[in-house]
Amino acid sequence: MTALMVKAADLPDELPDIERRAKAIGKGSPLSLRERALVEGIADGVKDHIKALEVRIDELQKTQLRFCGRWTEGEYEPNSIVELGGSAWVAKRLTRSKPAPDSVEADWSLAVRRGRDGKDAK
């Protein structure tokens, strides 16, 4: 199942030639002024709701934790989680630094400290 992704910016400000389109797709006679106004009103309402949803999605994605695997050199966005030396670290801000407990920069927060090694089963 595929999701329909429409951004408010992708919708036209107006619906030009709506009557021509209605004829072209075989829906009968041209739209009346009332029908045209209704379609344009719905389009404007949908555009506003899509824009509001895009803003909300952006807000939610800023707080979402993202597991990035083992730490390697590179840039990490806030809320990125990396594993280093058996511990898990969360980036506090955009950073290229390496997580370390005594880091002066404090770009990372220790989320899970490495535990003791287990004993071999015998």
Confidence check: pLDDT of 9 > 60: no
Confidence check: pLDDT of 70 > 90: yes
Q: How far apart are CA 43 and CA 94, in angstroms?
A: 38
Q: Identify the residue with better confidence: 30 or 28.
A: 30
Q: Which residues contact 57 (CB under 8 A, 6 or more apart)?
A: none
DSSP code string of 2-33 = PPP---GGGS-SS-TTHHHHHHHTT--SPPPH
Whether residue 3 is contained in a domain is answered as no
Confidence check: pLDDT of 75 > 60: yes
- Is the Cβ–Cβ distance between 68 and 53 less than 8 Å? no
Identify the CATH number of the domain in which residue 80 sits.
Answer: 2.10.10
Q: How far apart are CA 36 and CA 41, in angstroms?
A: 8
Q: What average pLDDT does the structure give for the chain?
A: 79
Same domain for 51 and 15: yes
**pLDDT attached to residue 16:** 55
Whether residue 2 is contained in a domain is answered as no
Rg (the chain; Cα; Å): 26
Q: Of 84, 55, 57, 53, nearest to 68 (Cα)?
A: 84
Give the pLDDT band of residue 38 (cuts 50, 70, 90). Answer: confident
Confidence check: pLDDT of 25 > 80: no
pTM exceeds cut of 0.85? no
In terms of average pLDDT, the best of 32-36, 38-42, 60-64, 81-85 is: 81-85
- CA of residue 41 relative to chain centroid, distance: 28
Range of the domain at 81: 66-112
Q: Tell me how far apart the terminal alpha carbons of the chain are, to the nearest angstrom.
A: 49
Domain total in the chain: 2
